[in-house]
Structure 1
Amino acid sequence: MDEVKRYDKIELGSLNYGGTGFLVYDFVAAQAGVFPYWDWETGRVVYELKHPDDLLTDDVLKQLNNLPITEDHPKELITVKNSSQFVKGMTGNESRINGNMLEGRGTIFDGTLISLMLSGAKKECSLGLLCKVVEESGVYEGKRYDRRQKDFRLNHLAMVPRARCGSECTVKLDAEENYAVQIRYDEIDQYNQRSVYKTMKIKLDGIEHDVPDVVGTRLQDLEKKNDELTKQVGQLEGKVDGKEDEITKLKQKNDELEKNQVSAEKLDAAVEERVVLVQDAAHVLGDDYEFKGKTVRQIKVDCIKKISGDEFKEDGKSDEYINARFDTICDFMNKGEYSSVGDNNLRFKGDASDNKDITDMKQKRLNMRK
């Protein structure tokens, strides 16, 4: 059977100043009977029995002597290591049993706590102890109980406000042990309306908080879902950006197609231009020339080479130059109706010096070669 913590509370008796200015007071530390407790483990009010056979013993009475007194319940049991931080006074060695109660006398030597007690801000003493709780139910002196406290080990006596669920709540929320706080009978309805559960620590915006388990678990689930949704949103954003890139590329391709699209008029003009080119070039290249698959420039260059011979070099010549030179050949041929074959071919017809047109043509060719 594990030990659990219990915090019992009873209002103070008389307050007096000692000769040193310390505050001396009488108190009732605990009493036998059935009392309601707020169980932080289950979040409900339970009734526990402190039987006289378990509480009102010489062993417990000795423990109440020279017991540390604290302001509120610290978040840990009082030990030698933390006593200088938490201890504000001590009980005396005059503890006694009076009827069904454990009584004693305490001395406070901390000025701040003395002021709080005199002002009424700290009107109750609450016994901090460890005990074993037996799952035993029954009726004691006409009162039903659910559990029985046994094997008491007193740790400290805390001075607390009468309005409860202050420091005790803090102690429970920051601890892992099973705690229960004794409450008054007139507080039972108030506590039954509370929704308090085991707690856990979570971080919000980098700050650690203690929250009920049910809240913390829900927040963790929501955080996980939020992370998953964030990842999904990132993936969807990436897909959307990818689709936008694809749409942009398709628009660019469409613009290029529209730009390069040949209208009926342009197509007719291109066909007509090709026919004229073939007709003009055939006079120079002859009927055996294979026009199929040849570009406009290639046909024109072949015409120039036919007239000029292999001495013509195409490299470095612009399209404008090729077009002008080809047009010159066509003009000359149209005037003289020459062909590339026979006695009237362009290269060997008569005496070129006697033919003014041929002389002019040669001069144009020479000029174009410069």
Structure 2
Amino acid sequence: MLTRYDSATINRFSVDSQTGYLHVRNVPIARVGVFPYLKPDGSIQMEAKLPDDLLTDSAVESANSKPITDNHPNESVNINNSSKYAKGLTATNAHVDGDKLKVDMTIMDGSLIDEIKKGKQELSIGFQTDVEPVAGEYKGMKYDSVQRNIQINHVAVVARGRAGHTVRLTGDSAEMVQDQEPSKENQMETTTIRMDGADVTVAQADADKILKLDADNKANAKKIDELNAQIKALTAERDKLKGSADSANKQADEAKAKADSLEKQLADAEKKFTGDALDKAIADRMELIDQAKPFVGESADFTGKSAKEIKVEAINKADSIDVSDKSDYYIDVYFDSLKNRSNAGVVGYSGKEEKKTDSADNVPDRYHLA
């Protein structure tokens, strides 16, 4: 049986006025889905948590009354070491909510509670599982293996889990979408800009990028006008040469070829930079930027970067993996899995009988973060 870590976070908690204990309610610690695991050789293995495995009575009950630790211990938590590692406990109300496994938790250690209040608010769920090499597909996502006999051992509070700071202590796992209502401090600030004679409301952080796209569009329109002028001049030259002697036929053909080439450039430019195609290009790029922000940060500069470069940067920031030399298909599939995290969180894979962690904390190689 392999040991795994799933990452999650805390961002809604309450403190008991009498005891000072910290309570977190309805924490989603895992969900059904297909997720990438990093193998020791650097390759990716897609593993599935299927409903018949994750949502079983045994897996759900394994989340009850489990120790909460300050960072991951160097060993599984049990009766012999719980006094050393346990800083709190999960409740006894582990339950299934849709395709998620959720549970309440209470943290009783004063030092850890102080750290949480100062910003140490990410979780990493330690569990054991049998990974069977059974290929298949779940909701359009192909997988190489299936996690069976899932048993949760402990929940660690860490400075930074494998999912990074985009997943915080509300308890949303690194694999799942945030469920909670956005707080006021997380609500988007907007501003109004003017494009093509109309006022448009956009996210304040994206205003400069959209204005740049608008400026690029105007530059492209100017380029189209220049191409039209060149086509007109070359067409006139072609017509003139057509009336010349036979010796001018070659020049006429060359002028026609140039004109045809420019016409093709014009058609391509008009198709790419005008009308609905431009609107769709802007929408697609802004959607991609929004999907990448949870991994590269709100302050990241996407200016001049292609879609592929943005995806490669997001993957590198999230998992510290350089996939720039991989195929476009590989990068697209991997980035789709990251979107499930921001909808989400991911479990790292360490290979048979190894313990390895992808958290920022120093966890033995036989543990894994996801």
TM interval, shorter chain, is: 0.3 to 0.5
Q: Which entry has the higher C-alpha Rg, 1 or 2?
A: 1
TM-score (norm 2): 0.44
Where relative contact order (Cα < 8 A, 6+ residues apart) is larger, the structure is 2
TM-score (norm 1): 0.44
